[in-house]
Structure 1
């Protein structure tokens, strides 16, 4: 079989790779997952180099369309970093190419690198004569500048055209990829520049909020996690109406690497169930937090007595679905457009009940992970998805957008609703979860509804919930029933019947077990009507699994009640904060992604 390989190109690759040798990790391999590669920054040089090679091949496979590369580690500490590939329409790299990226990163010798490169060309049927283009950016981590040099070395060795956009948020890079590849289409996504992103957001926000009865009566404070979101939020403010929305930006010390995500940001607030460092809000002041690369956002406030109240991704999803559903009905499109909310098993059961019983909307469940949520949401007319950690967006299908364009309103009220709905399709970054875009969406909705954080919180009451980890000897033994969104176990056979028996004893009880993606452990998530019932339910399930002879007797848990964090310990299961709304990984080690 012809390899379609240019020997001169390969020699250039090997020569360039000499300057970026692979770190010695023994038998430990790297894995490309939902978050791409993520690990200690000192391990990444060679990995980023190989990602550049894969992106060049991916661009050729996609007919010369631009492929994106983002260097970031999101909510991780500053001495971590990561890299991921963005496909032509701003979406995540297709899953079929993840093994290629993994294999390249684990090629430990020049011969193995060559074989991997050839195998990708053959298996993916990449044509060498196709054009290739890559655009990339990084967040504020000090290691980013060095990693960019490794990336450029790979792109120059493969004669790949590239554009370095410097420091951007992750969603801005996704925006630029789609804008670049749609620039010559009839309906381009937006101007191909960072400024074009702000222009699009600003114009859409002005259009969406102008029909609100009155602007928010109080300012909103944005915790930017001392990350890239800080300068980009300040830049966005230049495009927003100053007389409508008052915004205070805090935790904006990007020059201090040690402060990145330290006791602040969306992940810290969500997992620790407390306000960020140096919080000075008064009762019922509106606050929100971004994460380090500004693709997640969560809201929160304190009540009298410093009681912490969280408005997380579930709350943002229900708020958005409620508002968009109202606009669809008011514009007269209810028979032409359907709306669905996509959730994972980790979504609070109270939010699901609220969507189904109060909003009268359909809920679709899918496996954990943004790529699964995005895929299902993309199949709906309007698909709303947010993970509890605040990562999510809203997708408007071409069918829905066509219905909006063609619809002839029958009254001024229908016209107003329709114009607001159309504005939302530009305000919402549909390529990926975008904290800045989602921030403007939430502020628009609260203004239209004339709601404070109190009214928002009052829509439903979260069920107390708890997340625990149990060590097991073989996590592969824990397989979920296909089509249940990981909510029921197929094997080991004794576990699901025992879970069912335990759950049946508690009001509003729910519990599921799923295998960890990165270690020999299982995650146990449970809910019940009372805090003590939740603790008891999860404790009993953990004890049963621990007694199966597969490990146990220790682990981690994160427990959240309607009034904040639960303290203390449950049996042998020491309370400790988990990341990623259930994934609970120590991402400081080489992992398979989020």
Structure 2
């Protein structure tokens, strides 16, 4: 690693001091915590994502979300070139850099890891990280921290894909690495086409009733409900009703986690809905949150 690269990392890291007394660990859901504690961590995950792009010579994804957690929380996770989760081999490095106490300690960890992984900083392939976030208010500031982490690796760029669900971002990463168009419209097109293929496999002669094509979804006031409102226009085979998709606080009295823990129906569902599942009308709750 040359002097220019080291100086850029030190200069950038100095703007994002880690919170004192906080130790974070990267797991299946990435890093999650109160959003006020995450700026430094998201910055450093941006560095990790850029290094991962260098290592794999592929596009990598970085998603800012805490899924079913309360709105004041947030999180960050990395998507590998296949669209899957970050390889477990890199999780200890994620933990180490997230908890490095100062810029010089962080730099030393990066130098050692780059040497171990044989990550070259000279004559390399283009480095790109696709960025996504959910609807949490803290998302924009954390997105900026991620971008600064990515661009602290010389020549790396972060491409903002906007407010998306986690599955959308993972699909976009996979699509880009397979030479496909990585857009929301392309994602919806493939999903709707796959659904129609699935429906074509339905045996003929099965008895239908008026509720066969009805679907009620609890959007948990998150990004999933918002996206489904757009996507359902492409699924003319289904009659989809989305409840709780922007008129309340994210995951407050809604969502799969709330229903599972409290053993009650989500906000927006009442006694008249009690027999929906039994009558043949599927009810999904919080399944589409990023």
Q: TM-score, normalised by structure 1?
A: 0.45
Alpha-carbon distance in 1 for matches of 2:156, 2:2: 13
Of 65, 71, 74, the residue aligned with 1:81 is 74
Question: What displacement does 1:226 show?
Answer: 0.5
Picking from 143, 161, 164, the partner of 1:165 is 161
Matched residues in 1 for 2:59 and 2:198: separation? Answer: 31
Q: 2:10–2:104: 8 Å Cα contact kept in structure 1?
A: no
Q: Which residue of 2 aligns with 1:9?
A: 5
Partner of 2:48: 54
Distance 1:61 1:106 in 2: 22
The answer for unaligned runs of 5 or more in structure 1 is 184-189, 295-594
8 Å CA contact 1:75, 1:292 repeated in 2 = no
**SS of match in other structure, 1:174:** helix
For residue 216 of structure 1, report the CA deviation from its aligned partner: 6.2
After superposition, the Cα gap between the structure-2 partners of 1:105 and 1:220, relative to the gap in structure 1 and judged at 3 Å, is same
Give the deviation of 1:273 after TM superposition.
2.4
Confirm or deny that 1:114 pairs with 2:107: yes
Q: Which has the larger radius of gyration?
A: 1
Tell me the SS of whatever aligns to 2:109: helix
Which of 222, 226, 229 aligns to 2:221? It is 226
Provide the secondary structure at the position in 2 that maps to 1:253.
coil
How many pairs align? 276
Aligned pair partner of 1:123 in 79, 98, 116: 116
| Structure 1 position 291, deviation (Å) | 4.5
Counterpart secondary structure, 2:71: coil
SS at match of 2:142: helix
The answer as to whether partners of 1:227 and 1:291 remain within 8 angstroms in 2 is no
Report if the CA contact (8 A) 2:221-2:250 is conserved: yes
Mapping for residues 500-515 of structure 1, pairs under 5 Å:
none
Which residue, 237, 241, 245 being the options, matches 2:238? 245
**Partner of 1:202 in structure 2?**
192
Structure 1 segments, 4+ long, off by >4 Å, are none
2:133 matched residue in structure 1? 138
RMSD over aligned Cα atoms: 1.7
Distance 2:181 2:189 in 1: 8
* 1:269 equivalent among 253, 259, 262: 259
In 2: Cα distance, 1:216 partner to 1:250 partner:
23
Mapped contact 1:223–1:249 kept (Cα < 8 A): yes
With over 3 angstroms needed to count, the CA separation of the structure-2 counterparts of 1:227 and 1:137, relative to structure 1, is same
Whether the aligned pair in 1 keeps the contact of 2:219 and 2:289 (CA below 8 Å) is no
User: Do the aligned partners of 1:216 and 1:245 also contact (CA within 8 Å) in 2?
Assistant: no
Gaps of 5+ in 2: none
Structure with the bigger RCO (C-alpha within 8 Å, sep 6+) is 2
Pairwise CA distance, 1:211: 5.0
CA distance in 1, matches of 2:197, 2:103: 55
Q: Deviations over 1:254-284 (max 9, x none)?
A: 6x5xx21111111111222221122131523
What SS does the aligned partner of 1:165 have? strand
State how far apart, in whole Å, the 1-side matches of 2:3 and 2:173 are: 30
Compute the displacement of 1:174 (Å): 0.5
Q: Is the 8 A contact 1:72 1:82 kept in 2?
A: yes
CA 216–245 in structure 1, closer or farther in 2 if over 3 Å, else same: farther
Partners of 1:245 and 1:292 lie apart in 2 by: 17
Residue 45 of structure 1: CA displacement? Answer: 0.3
Q: Does residue 153 of the first structure (1) align with residue 148 of the second (2)?
A: yes
Relative to structure 1, the CA distance from residue 17 to residue 173 in structure 2 (aligned partners, 3 Å threshold; closer, same or farther) is same
1:260 aligns with 2:250: yes
Distance 2:116 2:234 in 1: 47
Equivalent position SS for 2:66 = coil
- What is the Cα deviation at residue 85 of structure 1? 0.7
Matches of 1:239 and 1:289, distance apart in 2: 21
Structure 2 CA distance for aligned equivalents of residues 155 and 282 of structure 1: 48
TM-score of the two chains, using structure 2 as the length reference = 0.90
User: 2 CA distance for matches of 1:7 and 1:289?
Assistant: 52
